[in-house]
Amino acid sequence: MPASRHNLRQMPRADLPGEILPLPYPPRIVAETDDFLVVDKPPFLRIHPSKPDQTDTLWNELRALLSYEIANGGQVSIINRLDRETSGLVLVAKHRAAAKKFSQLMERRGIGKEYLALAFGWPAQDEWSVDAPLLRQGDIRPSKIYLKQCIHPDGAAARTRFRTERRLEKHGAKFSIVRAFPETGRMHQIRIHLAHSGHSVVGDKIYGADETCYLDFIETGWTPALAARLLLSRHALHSCALITAGHEWRTGLPPDLIAWSEPGAAAFGDIGR
């Protein structure tokens, strides 16, 4: 793959409520052609603006980066979207034909995805699957969090395969690095299916042990009390691979999750590559 002719700047702030947290590392271009970009997105960076005057998003940054291409008929089309706290690979089409091609591939499940997660506990199995449909929790019972999803037989089909990559201990507690292979693309699917397996994602404010962490975070921002309850300031989920019939892009566990995984962090740097 030819070297990128573009570089993304370090965006110094993220629009979190309350206390503002910096991006732990800058976005990075992994691959580039005349048709597409693949970007390694840091956590706390939104994909798209959530309000009209919001500019510190990956979409805005890419529009500035590709201003010449846009002026000559190009566009910025983000093919796979990640939550603000989820880090990792994002595929971006530079023009209409590429956007159509990749969007059709996504619809046909022709783009394989892999994620890495830091999870609580040691899974009893090295490999397992969860086949459990998902819908919005508020559709079936009262929910304080509008976007929270849940497992329910009336929901949309959702299936994820998992593989345990490492089992580790930190401060006397057990954690795992788990690779996820989502076979469908439902909202929050991996986080819900891991929690359903008994191994919720470290730092998950919604699907961890206590959803009030999310409500407290919205009200107060990041605080020492939340740090003690959640252990990480973001859910530890990372998009580590995108695979098509003609391309394969990979990235290892990101710096913030490697640092948290110490001791032995160096052993995790190549996971996902």
**Which residues are the active-site residues?**
83
The tokens for 86 are 């989820």
Bridge-based pairing of strands 237-243 and 87-93 is parallel
Distance CA 22, CA 24 (A): 6
Query: In terms of Cα–Cα distance, which of 92, 95, 91 is closest to 72?
Result: 95
8, two tokens = 């993304």
Give me the helices (H) in 1-75, please. Answer: 58-65, 67-71
Nearest of 118, 72, 116, 122 to residue 94 by alpha carbon: 72
Neighbours of 266 (CB within 10 A): 10
Other CB atoms within a 10 A radius of the CB of residue 17 amount to 11
- Burial (Cβ within 10 Å: 0-12, 13-18, ≥19) of residue 46: buried
Omega into 133 within 30° of 0, i.e. cis?
Answer: no
Coil, strand, or helix at residue 240? Answer: strand
At which residue do the structure tokens 């990559």 appear? 165
Report the alpha-carbon distance of residue 86 to residue 101 in Å, rounded: 25
What per-residue string of b and e applies to 175-205 under the rule 16 or more CB within 10 Å gives b? bbbbbbbbeeebebbbbbbbbbbebbbbbbb
